[in-house]
Structures are given as structure tokens and as C-alpha cells.
Structure 1
Amino acid sequence: MPAKKLKEYLDSHHIHYETISHSMAFNAQRVAATTHIPGKEMAKTVVVKVDGEMSMAVLPASFKIDLDQLKIATGARLVELASEMEFKSRFPDCEPGAMPPFGNLYDMRVYVAHSLSEDKMIAFNAGTHIELIRMAYRDFDRLVHPTVLKFSKRPMAHHA
């Protein structure tokens, strides 16, 4: 079952979304493959500290976060990854690493990678490692009001 807080929030705003259950797969790209969701649509949420403030950076699962780019884009002095110990108490209704990109529900600012904002749909962990929520990106944008910046890069291509 998706995180109660998230489900109630989406339902109260009459948002059309789909819940997709899948087997235990912690890697976001593997989840995208097993659920047949295009990797570009599959979002991963990375908790970062922007000048000490816990924030969410949301990017396509197949991309890597570029902390230097995020630092420049936000104008921050320091941007670093937050450790699970630092942020897990913020998400009491979520499994570690499965928090949905709704920073507004957890009192956190949300930065979305420009590459993700171009998608019609967005899919993300719904608070567990076995459920996704897929919904229209424009609904996500309307509810979360994320700041769209460039801070993601494609990983190096693997040659066969």
C-alpha cells in the first residue's frame, strides 16, 4: 500500500494515478525494466543538503546526479548527499530509500531535473520498494511546485 500520507493527499486532490506493484528490486532502473515503464519516466529521489537544508533532488532513474551542477543552479555554497541516518526520521511512513518525491508532504524543497520535467508521465516509489505510483507530470508539478533545474547527467554508455 502506498504511503498513507501520499495516498490521502493524491485522493484529496482528485488526482488520477496508477499504483503498480512489482517484486523487490531496489535499483530504480531494474524496477523500470520489470514494470515496463520507460527509464526516462522513472524518477528517483535523492536527499541532498543544500547549504545544510534537507532537500529532494528528483531525476530520471537512468541518470546520475551532478552535485556541482546543482550547487551552481541553486547558487548554494555547499551541496552534498545526505546520509540515510540524517533523513530517515523525516519519512516515518516510508521504507528507507523509497520516499516519494513529494517534499511538500515532508517539509522539504524539491528540485526536479529538467530532463524529467519534459515527460508527460512520471513514476516513482510510493513509500515502499514494491510499489510505484505513475501519474501525469503536470499534476505532480501542480501539487509539488518543484524548482526545475539542470543537475543530471547520463551515465557513460556501455559498449557491447
Structure 2
Amino acid sequence: MIPENIIQYLEGHNVPFDRRPHLRAITAQALAASLHVSGFQVAKSVILRSDDSLWICVVSAPDTVNLDRVAAVTGAKNLRLAEESEFAPLFPECEVGAEPPFGRLYGIPVVVDEHLRHAEHLLFRAGSHAEALELRFADFENVEAPLTGIIVHDRQREQLSIENDSFSLQP
């Protein structure tokens, strides 16, 4: 179940969203599979630690964060994956591993991979491994005002194409 503070945050900013219950899914790719959508329609939060702060990196489910690229976009020094013990206390109402990308709600800066800007709608984890939120990327961007840039490792021999608001991989 999605924590009430997340619902109130979105409603308070007049962000329309749909709740999408699904079978319990721990990974973002499993979430995509349980909802029968491409992993490129699921945005996952990856929490990084720098010398002086945490960052929420929002990338597509199949992508992996490139620390050098995140550093170039954010100016953060000595980036590494944060350990659960470093961020879990900041999301007390959320299941560990289902941290939402709403950094303004939690006082954490957000950086989004440029590839996600091509999506009209995305599915976001929002504190639960059994329910996701679907919202327009433009609404997410308006509320969060994240930094954006290409922050993932290159996709070898694949290119992202958009077909009728859904993503597919084309070799």
C-alpha cells in the first residue's frame, strides 16, 4: 500500500495519478513484468551517497547508473551506492527498496536520466512492493524540478523507440 504522505504530496500539488496494484515485486524489472509493460516504462529510484549528501537517481528499470555521469550532471564528489542503513531511516513509511522518486518530499535532490523525458507516462515505485503509481512524466518533472542528463551506462546496439506511448527496444 502506498503511504498516505506520498498521496497527500501528489494531491497537494494537483498531480493526477493512477494507483496500479500488482503482485509483490521486489525489483523494478519484476514490477514491469507483473504489470505486463516494458521495463522502460518503469522508473526506479537508485539512492547514491556523495561526500555531503544523498541523491535520488531516477532511471528506467533495465538501466544501470553511471557514477561518473551522475557526478558530471550533479557536481557531487565521491559518489557511491548508498547503503540501506544510510537512507532507510529517511523513508520510515516505505518498504526498503521501494523508495519513491519524490525528493522534494524527503529533502533529497533528484537527478533523472534524460531517456525518461521521452515517456508520456511512467510507473513509479511509491513506498510499496505491491502497488505503483502511474503519472505523466511532465507532471513529475513539474513537481520535482529535477536535474536531468544522461546518467546511465550506454545501451549497446539498442535504441529506444516510442510507439503509441509505449517503449520497445529496436536492435
Q: Same fold by TM (over 0.5)? A: yes
Unaligned segments of structure 1, at least 5 residues: none
CA distance in 2, matches of 1:106, 1:63: 24
Query: Does the aligned pair in 2 maintain the 1:99–1:125 contact within 8 Å?
Result: yes
Runs of 4+, deviation exceeding 4 Å:
154-157
Q: Where does residue 112 of structure 2 map in the other structure? A: 112
How much does 1:156 deviate?
5.9
CA RMSD of aligned residues (A): 1.5
Q: Where does residue 42 of structure 1 map in the other structure? A: 42
The question of 1:75 aligning with 2:53 is answered no
Q: 1:7-26 to 2 correspondence within 5 Å?
A: 7-26=7-26
Q: Where does residue 149 of structure 2 map in the other structure? A: 149
Q: How many residues align?
A: 157
Spell out, residue by residue over 1:72-125, the C-alpha distance to the aligned partner (whole angstroms, 9 max, x if none): 222333111110001100001100010110000000000000111221112111
Q: Where does residue 132 of structure 1 map in the other structure? A: 132
The question of 1:2 aligning with 2:8 is answered no
3-state DSSP of counterpart to 2:94? coil
Spell out, residue by residue over 1:46-73, the C-alpha distance to the aligned partner (whole angstroms, 9 max, x if none): 1111333111001000101111111122
CA distance in 2, matches of 1:34, 1:153: 25
Query: Does the aligned pair in 2 maintain the 1:64–1:155 contact within 8 Å?
Result: no
Flag the 1:20–1:155 CA change in 2: closer, same or farther, 3 A. Answer: same
- Larger mean Cα displacement after TM superposition, 51-60 or 73-82: 73-82
How much does 1:40 deviate?
1.2
Flag the 1:136–1:112 CA change in 2: closer, same or farther, 3 A. Answer: same
Q: 1:51-66 to 2 correspondence within 5 Å?
A: 51-66=51-66
Spell out, residue by residue over 1:106-158, the C-alpha distance to the aligned partner (whole angstroms, 9 max, x if none): 0000000011122111211121111100000010001111111111125668x
Identity %: 32
